[in-house]
Structure formats: C-alpha cells, structure tokens
Amino acid sequence: MKKRFLSGMALAGAAAFALTACSSDGGDTGSSDAASGDGGGGGGDTIVVGFAQTGSESGWRSANTESMKTAFSEDNGFELVFNAADNDTAAQIAAVRGFINQGVDAIVIAPIVEDGWDDVLTEAADAGIPVILEDRTVSASEDLYAAWIGLDFEEEGVKAGEWAAEMYGDEETKMVVLEGTTGSAPANDRATGFDAAIEGTMIEKIDSQTGDFTRDGGKSVMEGFIQNYGVDNIDLVYAHNDDMALGAIEAIEAAGAVPGEDIKIISIDAVHDGMQALVDGKINYIVECNPLLGDLVAAAVTGVINGDDVEAVQYVEDLAFDQAAAEAALPDRKY
C-alpha cells in the first residue's frame, strides 16, 4: 500500500478546521461542538459517523478526542456518535456493533488492542458501512477497513532508542520500561523499535511492566521497580508515553531521588505536561506522537463516502525534543 508522510506541523494545518475545546469525557455520545471549516461532509447530506475511542486514559488521548470532535462537527457536515470504551476491548467492540445496528454512514475506530476485530469488521463490511482506523492498527485483513491514519509507532521507538544509545550506550546502564496497554499497537511497536536501536549497547533492560498508558499506572509500576531494585540500581526509564513518565517522576521523587538526574527518563508523546517536565529537567528526551488526526480522518471518511481514491495508509511524521527544543516549542503547542 502507498504511504503518505506528513510533518507534525502539516498535520495541524492539513485542512481548514479551527480547533476548539471539546469535552473528552469517556462515554459521551452525540455530535461534537460546532467548528467552522470546509473539509467535512460538504454541502450535501449530513454524514453520520460512529467513533469508537479507546477511553480518556491520557493527555494524548484527550487531545486526540478533541481533534476528532472538532473535525466531525455539525458545521463541517457531520453528525458524530461518540463512544469511549474506558480501555475495555469488549465494550469497544460492542460499541462498534451498536453503530452498525444504528446504520451510521461510516465508522471510525481507535482500536484498544490489535487482535479480535475480524468478526465485527466483517459485520460492518456486510452492512456496507466503511471503517476507518485512526491512531492504532489491527491484525485483521486489510480488506476489512478502508484506510488507516496514524503514527509510525515503531519509528518512534527507534528514535527514542537511538538517542538512548548515543547518550548512554557506551556505559553500563540499567533500564526499566513502562509499557503501554498490553497487546496494543503502540506498546508492541515502541518496544520493538527501541530494543532494535539499543541492540549491541551496554544498556540492559532489567524489568518491563505495563502501566496501561496512565499516570497512576506509571507511578505504581515505578514504585514497584524502586522497591525491587532501589533507586541506585536503576539508571534509565523508558516510558511508552508521557503520562506514565509523569507518574514515574512522582514515584522517583517520593523515593528521595531526582528524576532526570539520578534516574534518566525517555518518553513518547510530547503532550504539554510532558514537555513542561522536559523543560524542567525531569524528563531527558521525548519523541512526539501527534494526536491531531481529526482533519485527516474526516477527509478520509468524506472521500470514502464520495467514492474517491483514498490512500490506504497515511503516516504522520513525528518530531523529537531535547530540553532546548522543548523550551522553544512549548509556547505554541496545541496539546
């Protein structure tokens, strides 16, 4: 399949949608707040879209939900039926079945995990309802969805690992990993990319556990790492997202150590709180994962509904930040 790469800045301006604040609470249903723009359903009939979100587990997810609700606004020609599954895969699949029963025009899914989607995607196909995946991927046949729009999670892991290898690879470095949700595409791919990048270095992964992409999860897992190994025997934390890194910071500080100095931290996302921690020296490096996918997803839905040739895979290129770059970028961050 063809791949399209867009920069993070290009993503934010990919269409003429104006970003406005929207609720990101789990379980909301109905259309989003209105926003001006010309990239949606156009002047014809309203396009009814069911969006099955993972939940509201992180700052990244909230920004992603806001972007989607803004793009799929009434003023842009859409009616959005929104469901956040609180990271419950069965509930998310049930929500998709609900969209099928409602007879929506299109379904957008941010899959919690990669596996288990074949049956419900087949049901959507049998009902003649196109499916667009955003953010995360599935292991089901590519024939069962029209397009996927998101980030290259493995490349994010590679970027993080290359920086770790450059900075710490020539000295004995004991690392712990805060994994994302088990079975999810970002957790799988970010681990694969990072591990490949540090292969052959002196960085040793001594433990790795899931914190489910949440701040509380990151804090709890990090507390366990500190209890098991002590702060003096942990040199580096690799967190699969900023929220878990922020939880790890709390645990490190509670143990009397200095995050970013006594224990180095590398993270992925580049949401505002993570970037601020990087500016403050509590995180050492962040690879971006841009959540503002709404404009591209809405354009893909419109294209599929209109019978246009829509690119099947659309990657968005991520940036990366050290402390100086974060300080320069933070004032203009949209998330």
φ/ψ of 45, rounded to 5, equals -70, 155
What are the structure tokens assigned to 73, written together? 């606004």
Inter-residue contact 176 to 226 (CB < 8 Å): no
* Pairwise pLDDT comparison (63 vs 8), residue with the higher score: 63
Domains in the chain, ordered, with CATH? 3-151+290-317 (3.40.50.2300), 153-288 (3.40.50.2300)
> Token digits for 168?
């710490």
Render pLDDT for 33-78 as a digit per residue (tens, 0 to 9). 333 333 344 445 899 999 999 999 888 999 999 999 999 999 999 9
Structural element, H or E, at residue 70: helix 59-71
C-alpha radius of gyration, the chain, whole number: 20
Predicted confidence (pLDDT) per residue in 45-57, tens digit:
899 999 999 999 8
What would the pLDDT profile of 105-130 be if each residue is shown by its tens digit?
Answer: 999 999 999 999 999 999 999 999 99
